[in-house]
């Protein structure tokens, strides 16, 4: 799924040793479907040539505010064309000039002409970052609505260690995607559970399931990109966790830990809960303190039911939030999802066939059945990427909240 398909992005690059990492920012934005034009400052061109950026972007660079293109002023035209402007890396010099309204570089002239979302990712030596002048400039830019991707802490070009490293490329791109997405869920707080839980038999063995967490993580990302604050309660997932602004991470391991965290978050007040995790139904009653030995023969394992998180939430008579559950099934998906929705008093249960080869566990695609309160409104999605399926779940959340 290309979230920036048909959209245009301008990437400003300032004079910093981190300028080479702007190449990856350009590449990732293009992978999201965007057309990209790079505006390197004079300092940036000393680190990375315009030819490099032009090869990666497929478009000529904006290198000076004095450029003309068939009688048009490129930095003005780009300002009207762009969906978002990203400045990465942003040096202390460029931050100061942005705050003061300077226009002596193409990117600075463009920013003065641009009325849309701006994302800056600073990179500099740690004392430069912490200097009161730089922090005052950052505060000025934030007050104007500029989104700042805070620098990381780590080894710097000077050989020292401190805060000032350019943020991870993934975080910069995710922030740009969020800035270019309509904030339809801004101000909403949503709990999402994801991944498996793990129940101990002994210190070496566990009971778990095949859930990787892909579906739940993509749901959390889709909601965060729309502006929601997402409380992500995740078991030990086996895939990369999204670095999307707005996601608050709550790693847990067992069903009991997941229940405790979800209930604490909902008690504090949320707008919606999406239970996409594959929570264990049972846990060993008596966990062995030492590893069970093979020579002692097959152990007898007594199981006790875990807390049914979804049913407990659905049973709240004063429930102030929308509630969406998931049902992983291997047969009769429609009937099972509808029955689960009624039995657990959910607004919607999302069913998926985990027995098919191209849906469910361990694959990147899925086909979802939305079992709604109005049976006639229940429907399947086509086979989609899990990212696109997550968008369908996010649409469902928005629909419920509008009611």
- Residue 94: in which H helix or E strand, if any? helix 92-100
Q: Check 209, 352, 358, 366 and give the catalytic one.
A: 209
The full DSSP string for 251-308 is: E--SHHHHHHHHHHHHHT--SEEEE-SB--SEEESS--SSPPPGGG-SPP--EEEPP-
Classify residue 191 as exposed, middle or buried by CB count within 10 Å of its CB (0-12, 13-18, 19+): buried
The DSSP letter of residue 186 is: T
Classify residue 401 as exposed, middle or buried by CB count within 10 Å of its CB (0-12, 13-18, 19+): middle
Is there a catalytic annotation at residue 209? Answer: yes
- Residue 380: in which H helix or E strand, if any? strand 379-380
Cα 384 from Cα 123, distance rounded (Å): 38
Cα 108 from Cα 95, distance rounded (Å): 10
C-beta of residue 386 within 8 angstroms of C-beta of residue 399: no
Cα 232 from Cα 224, distance rounded (Å): 10
Cα 223 from Cα 184, distance rounded (Å): 9
Q: What sign does the dihedral 175-178-183-187 (CA atoms) show? A: negative
Active-site residue set? 209
């Amino acid at each position: 799924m290309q979230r920036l398909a048909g959209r245009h992005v301008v990437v400003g690059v300032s004079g910093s040793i981190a300028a080479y990492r702007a190449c990856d920012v350009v590449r990732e934005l293009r992978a999201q479907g965007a057309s990209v034009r790079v505006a390197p400052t004079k300092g940036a061109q000393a680190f990375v040539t315009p030819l490099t950026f032009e090869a990666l972007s497929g478009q000529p660079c904006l290198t000076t505010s004095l450029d003309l293109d068939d009688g048009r002023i490129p930095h003005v035209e780009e300002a009207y064309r762009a969906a978002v402007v990203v400045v990465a890396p942003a040096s202390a010099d460029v931050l100061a000039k942005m705050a003061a309204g300077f226009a002596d570089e193409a990117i600075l002239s463009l920013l003065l002409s641009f009325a849309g979302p701006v994302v800056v990712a600073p990179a500099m030596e740690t004392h430069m970052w912490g200097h009161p002048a730089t922090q005052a400039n950052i505060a000025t830019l934030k007050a104007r609505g500029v989104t700042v991707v805070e620098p990381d802490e780590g080894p710097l070009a000077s050989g020292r260690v401190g805060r000032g490293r350019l943020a991870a490329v993934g975080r910069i791109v995710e922030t740009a995607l969020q800035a270019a997405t309509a904030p339809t869920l801004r101000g909403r707080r949503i709990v999402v559970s994801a991944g498996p839980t793990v129940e101990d038999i002994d210190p070496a063995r566990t009971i778990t399931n095949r859930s990787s967490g892909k579906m739940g993580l993509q749901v959390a990302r889709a909601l965060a990109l729309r502006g929601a604050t997402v409380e992500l309660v995740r078991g030990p997932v086996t895939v990369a966790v999204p670095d999307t602004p707005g996601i608050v991470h709550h790693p847990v391991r067992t069903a009991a830990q997941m229940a405790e965290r979800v209930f604490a978050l909902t008690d504090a007040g949320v707008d919606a809960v999406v239970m996409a995790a594959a929570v264990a139904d049972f846990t060993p009653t008596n966990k062995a303190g030492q590893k069970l030995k093979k020579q002692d023969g097959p152990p007898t394992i007594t199981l006790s039911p875990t807390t049914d998180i979804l049913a407990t939430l659905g049973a709240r008579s004063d429930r102030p939030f929308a509630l969406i559950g998931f049902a992983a099934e291997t047969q009769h998906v429609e009937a099972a999802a509808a029955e689960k929705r009624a039995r657990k008093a959910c607004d919607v249960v999302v069913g998926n066939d985990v027995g098919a080869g191209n849906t469910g566990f361990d694959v990147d695609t899925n086909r979802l059945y939305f079992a709604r309160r109005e049976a006639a409104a229940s429907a399947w999605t086509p086979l989609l990427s899990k990212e696109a399926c997550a968008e369908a779940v996010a649409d469902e959340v928005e629909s419920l909240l509008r009611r």
